[in-house]
Amino acid sequence: MTLDSTTPDTTNTGTLDSGTVDSGTATGTGPAVMPVSVWATAQNAPTVQRRGRYHPDSVAHPAKMFPAIVQHAVATYTRPGDLVLDPMCGIGTTLVEALHLGRRAVGVEYETRWAELARTNIGLAHEAGIDLDAAVYTGDARKLPTLLPQELRGRVDLVITSPPYGDSVHGHVRVRAGQGVRKSNHRYGAVLDRGNLANVGLGRLLSGFTRILTGAAEYLAPGGHVVITARPWRQHAELVNLPAHLITCGTLAGLVPVERCVALLGRLSEGDLVARSSFFQRDFIVKQRAAGLPMHLIAHEDVVILRKPARCRSSLELKGFQDEPKCGSPLLSGVDPWVGKDSGGKAA
């Protein structure tokens, strides 16, 4: 396939000019408004958001990003035809939603199981009639320069990703009479695999994520954005402010923090926020509060937005000239970097 920066502009989501975007409609006919810091990304349940776009096996992933979070980020920080990267793409939510919004996409995933499923989900998008380039590479995202095609350096418009919050999550729970509670799909890969950032301590997680952002910055176009979703969590009853740590990781990678937003995990209804939580989440909170810990149901993801400094003309200017190449990046006409490779250099 040929990756061409002159992909036709089939929809219009407005320009990122002077800090404004349009109302977010597909036609771009709404008035320009300032970006909001609260993203209403859970008006529909996650299963509804994924319906018809993902293989049924996708539900097994322990920590899937809400499609609506990706949709909001892509519509806000890119234009049709732009290139979106997720260096920890899981089942490919970022890639699939980017394709459905008219953007090209590339991802990297450490676990072979999820990388194959991400390719399957991309295939479903193509079967639905979306004729845009997308690829998934299997390998350690801390080594992005050895995984992604060199031709893509400086040409990614938006990076979207989320780090793991420890080695396990709620996953799927089944209760059977006489057998108690059984969990499944609640861990990232093999427990002893230290190559997986989910299985290392906070210090190594942050140093590894800094390496990932540093590598991603090499592929990001000047003025391009990085969107990271995360949330604080408690470790041995002590609150770990992961979003604040991730801002430090980004600055160490040479990126500039520009926004901090929240993406709702609950539904807004007549002024109320209806939490979408499992019985086990609620049970855990009740027990912790009874023990004296001031805990609440999680109703949002923190969203950290960073930007790569522009080296010449500002990215905001460039967004208004869709046919012009970004500074230092000639158009990719005739380049075919989309033959997927795994970490050993074999064709995927």
Tell me how far apart the alpha carbons of residues 42 and 266 are, in angstroms, rounded to a whole number. Answer: 5
pLDDT at residue number 18: 30
By residue count, the chain amounts to 348
What are the pLDDT digits (tens) for 48-82?
Answer: 999 999 999 988 877 789 999 999 999 999 999 99
Task: Write down all domains in the chain, each with its CATH number in brackets.
Answer: 38-167+202-318 (3.40.50.150)
Tell me how far apart the alpha carbons of residues 313 and 122 are, in angstroms, rounded to a whole number. Answer: 34
pLDDT at residue number 233: 75
Percent pLDDT > 90 in the chain is: 51
Tell me how far apart the alpha carbons of residues 136 and 163 are, in angstroms, rounded to a whole number. Answer: 18
How many Cα atoms occupy the beta-carbon half-sphere of 161 within 13 Å? 28
DSSP 47-77: HHHHTTTS-GGGGG-SSPPPHHHHHHHHHHH
| Rounded-to-10 torsion of CA 150, 320, 2, 220 | 20
pLDDT at residue number 202: 85
pLDDT at residue number 17: 33
pLDDT at residue number 191: 55
Going from the C-alpha of 204 to that of each of 69, 169, 177, 250, the distances in angstroms are 27, 19, 41, 15
What are the pLDDT digits (tens) for 199-220?
Answer: 678 888 999 999 999 999 999 9
pLDDT at residue number 229: 96
E strand intervals along 200-296: 220-230, 233-235, 238-240, 256-264, 267-269, 272-274
Flag residues of the chain having pLDDT under 70: 1-35, 165-195, 198-199, 237, 311-348
| Rounded-to-10 torsion of CA 52, 190, 111, 205 | 110
pLDDT at residue number 4: 40
pLDDT at residue number 181: 60
pLDDT at residue number 182: 62
